[in-house]
A and B are shown apart, each in its own frame.
Chain A
Amino acid sequence: MEIRKDMKGSELTVALEGRLDTTTAPQLETELGDLPGVKTLVIDMEKLVYISSAGLRVLLKAQKLMNKQGAMTIKNVSQEIRDIFEVTGFNEILNIE
């Protein structure tokens, strides 16, 4: 799992690559932290191949945080990941482009 962060002003773009599962989710959770000073959070999933419930939990946490301090968007979602979002109902919680 590779995480690339790019902060431009108050906009943080996080690009994920690989699998976001039980093993790698804590890594993303640590990387995101409390998202200080972030008004816009963009998560780029172009190279993400899998997401487990532990990964969804980290996204949910970030979404809740961003609901208070700005907005969060998820972009470049592959069909496989989109299916996971749909089955779990996360497409209704997360803002997916």
Chain B
Amino acid sequence: MFSKLLMKFKSNITLQILTGVLMVFVLLTGLVCVIGYVQFTDAIEDQYADSAYNTARTAAYELTPRFLKLNDPTLREYQMKLIDIKRNWNKLADTQDATFIYLFKAASDDVTNEYSKVTFLVNVANKRTGFPDYSAGYTITQTDSRYLRAFREIYERGSERVEIAVYRPEEKYTSGNHITVMVPVHDHLKNVIGILGVERRMEDLDDVRSLYLRHVLIFSAVFLLIVMSLYGYYLSGKLLSPIQEIASEAMRFARENTRAEIQLADKITDISEIGQLARVIDVMEENIVSYVDNLTRVTREKEQIKAELNVATQIQADMLPRKFPPFPEHDEFDIYASMTPAKEVGGDFYDFFLIDDDHMALVIADVSGKGVPAALFMVIAKTLIKNVAQMGNLSSSEILREVNTRLCENNEADLFVTVWLGILEISSGKIFASNAGHEYPAIKHVNGNFELFKTKQSPAVATMDGMKFREYDFELEAGDVLYLYTDGVAEATNSHDELFGTDRMLNALNKFENESAQEILTEMKLAVDNFTGDAPQFDDITMLCLRYFGKDSGGKKA
């Protein structure tokens, strides 16, 4: 129950602020009460003191020098004078509301050195109070330090007026709150020979003070009620409802993620921090909405591009011969090839096609760069190579020269393509080849190992117009294997930044014995993948493998 209330309190800002204001106000009221009370008491006390002082001055007139000089209660004249004084003082006490009017001497005590031995000379008690008069010569020992201090003030420091206020609850003490004013009585030589005291009740003090307190409290309460209601109203209008507005808008936005029908800044025109908050939230919502819109559009475009790239991947894959065996009528060789692009589309390609019944072109190439630009260039290059080669009767170098000329015609992008082009004479196993900046082929002769076949290179195709290309030839015996690849194989990189390299490649190739071309390429791809592990594939991986059986093998593996 209590914790529920506490929760409600904590969830309401206005309530919290009002409680704070209330506390400050109560504190202030308390302070005003205390200060007022003290000031009030002082003022009233002063009034009573003045009244008592005047009474004392009047009473002092009765103490004639003659009486003071006599100073002997046994003398008749003194006694007569005393009766006179007492009568007059009684009247005075009655008219001036004094409780006591008295004359006394205080003598110093030898032990304590205080004026504690008090001897009353004259003492009059107001008849209405019922106190008895002390008879002349009555002696007491004063121990109240305030009185002792007052006596010393008068005797030793020449004070003309000393006041002592005593506060006592009326219901416990008959004397109640009272004030005593004491004045010195001098002889004709101005020596202090006694002290005249007037005690007066401060009968109205309690009443006036409690009235004051009551007024202050009632006024404060009314004022507080008015101020708190106005302030609470102001707060909820100025603070709470805008904040609730902002909070509900923020919640709506979190839920719907759409623009607000009416902006917060239009609802909250305040220029305070709350108004700033409202405007900032407007801006934030606008930014988020346009960001999400933008993101949605970009994502949609990206999806579209991705879809188109998927089609492009398919088209590119379809451009490469993928029917194996490609020429069922030729059983002199076993050929297989594969291309794995690093991106959706790649710049690598392989190709093989018959130029005539006895000649087959073998192509492996790598366009500089990657992605769509490389893929487009690859399409042109591949098409050109095949078209030019199939014009017939051209050597590999002549084909590349023609292709180079055509590619250089419009090559603003400065792309180029490394090409290994070989023309296999199917009947003899002779290959005439040109290497335009491409990786060295690996060749395995029967009973030998795979080795790189290094020749003097020609520049890549499409680098410079009018270039000539070198040509070389070699011969495949029955059982020999030709392995063509792109740099995606040799430069496959693992997570330690190590390259697969041609040494590892040759080692992997040399583990094969009589596997088919397809088996070799599948295993080689696995070997590369095992090497790179989790590292992403940076470059297209393209391989072509030809196992030559010879004219007379009858297509059987040797």
Chain A residues with CB under 8 Å of chain B are 22, 53-54, 56-57, 60-61, 64, 86-90, 92-93
Contact B416 A57 (CB under 8 A): yes
The stretch among B117-125, B217-225, B385-393, B457-465 that forms the contact with chain A is B457-465
B410-437 CB contact bits vs A (8 Å, 1 = yes)?
0000111010000000000000000111
Which chain B positions have C-beta within 8 A of A86? 457
Interchain CB contact under 8 A, B369 and A61: no
Centre residue among B436, B458, B463 by max chain A CB count within 10 A: B463
> Could you tell me if B457 and A56 are in contact, using CB atoms closer than 8 angstroms?
no
Do A92 and B415 touch across chains, with their CB atoms under 8 A apart? no
Known A88-B460, A89-B459, A92-B458: A61·B414 in contact at CB below 8 Å: yes
Assess whether B457 is in contact with A87, with CB atoms less than 8 Å apart: yes
A54 to B374 alpha-carbon distance, docked (Å):
10
Among candidates A53, A89, A92, A93, residue contacting B368 with C-beta atoms closer than 8 Å: A53
User: Which residues of B does A touch, CB under 8 Å?
Assistant: 366-370, 414-416, 418, 435-440, 457-460, 463-464, 487, 538
Are A88 and B369 in touch, CB under 8 angstroms? no
Contacts of B369 in A (CB 8 A): 22, 53-54, 57
Contact B458 A93 (CB under 8 A): no
> Given A61-B414, A90-B459, A56 and B368 touching (CB < 8 A)?
yes
Which A residue sits closest to B408, measured CB to CB?
A: A64
Q: How far is the CA of A15 from the CA of B436 in the complex (A)?
A: 28
In the bound assembly, the distance between CA atoms of A56 and B436 in angstroms comes to: 14
Q: How many angstroms between the C-alpha atoms of A54 and B413 in the bound complex?
A: 11
Residues of chain A contacted by B487 (CB below 8 angstroms): 53
Q: Is the CB of A88 within 8 A of B459?
A: yes
A93→B414 contact, CB < 8 A = no
Cα–Cα distance between A92 and B469 once the two chains are bound (Å): 11
**Which chain A residues border B415 with CB–CB below 8 Å?**
57
A-B pairs, 9 with minimum CB distance: A89-B459, A88-B437, A53-B368, A89-B437, A61-B414, A89-B457, A57-B368, A89-B458, A92-B459
Residue of A nearest to B411 (CB): A64
> Whole-angstrom distance between the alpha carbons of A33 and B464 in the complex?
20
Contacts of B459 in A (CB 8 A): 88-90, 92-93
Does B418 contact A53, Cβ atoms closer than 8 Å? Answer: yes
Can you name 20 A-B pairs with beta carbons within 8 Å?
Answer: A53-B368, A54-B368, A56-B368, A56-B416, A56-B460, A57-B414, A57-B416, A60-B414, A86-B457, A87-B438, A87-B457, A88-B438, A88-B457, A88-B459, A89-B457, A89-B459, A90-B463, A92-B458, A93-B463, A93-B464
B538 and A22 within 8 A (CB)? yes
Q: Are B439 and A64 in contact (CB under 8 A)?
A: no
Give Cα distance in the complex from A81 to B370, angstroms: 21
CA–CA, A87 and B440, complex, Å: 8
Q: Are A90 and B437 in contact (CB under 8 A)?
A: yes
Residues of chain A within 8 A (CB-CB) of B464 are: 64, 93
Chain A residues whose CB sits within 8 angstroms of the CB of B436 once the complex forms: 89
CB within 8 Å for A88 and B414 given contacts A22-B538, A93-B463: no
B-side contacts of A56, CB under 8 Å: 368, 416, 460
Question: How distant is the Cα of A92 from the Cα of B468 in the complex, in angstroms?
Answer: 11
In the complex, what residues of B have CB within 8 A of residue A64's CB?
414, 464
Among residues of A, the one whose C-beta sits closest to the C-beta of B499 is A50
Q: How far is the CA of A22 from the CA of B488 in the complex (A)?
A: 13
Question: Please, how many angstroms separate the alpha-carbon atoms of A61 and B414 in the complex?
Answer: 6
Once bound together, how far apart are the Cα atoms of A2 and B405, in whole Å? 35
Among residues of A, the one whose C-beta sits closest to the C-beta of B462 is A60
> Which residue of B is nearest A88, CB measured?
B437
State A31–B367 Cα separation when bound (angstroms).
23
Report A-chain residues with C-beta under 8 Å of the C-beta of B460: 56, 88-90
Considering the chains assembled together, what is the distance between the CA atoms of A34 and B460 in angstroms? Answer: 23
